Amino acid sequence: MSVIDAMRARLAALEPVAIEIADDSAQHAGHAGAGGGGHFRLNIVSSHFAQCRTMERHRLVYDALGSLMKRKIHALSITARTPDEN
DSSP state of 21: E
Strands 39-45 and 18-23: antiparallel
pTM: 0.86
- Over residues 59-74, the mean pLDDT reads 93
Nearest-CA neighbor of 37 among 23, 18, 47? Answer: 23
Of 82 and 31, the one with more pLDDT: 82
Where do the domains of the chain lie, and which CATH numbers do they carry?
3-81 (3.30.300.90)
pLDDT at 68: 93
29, pLDDT greater than 80: no
Angle, CA of 1, 34 and 11, to the nearest 5°:
40
pLDDT at 26: 73
pLDDT at 41: 96
pLDDT at 38: 85
36, pLDDT greater than 70: no
The per-residue pLDDT of the chain, averaged, comes to 89
SS in 3 state form for 42-68? EEEECHHHCCCCHHHHHHHHHHHHCCH
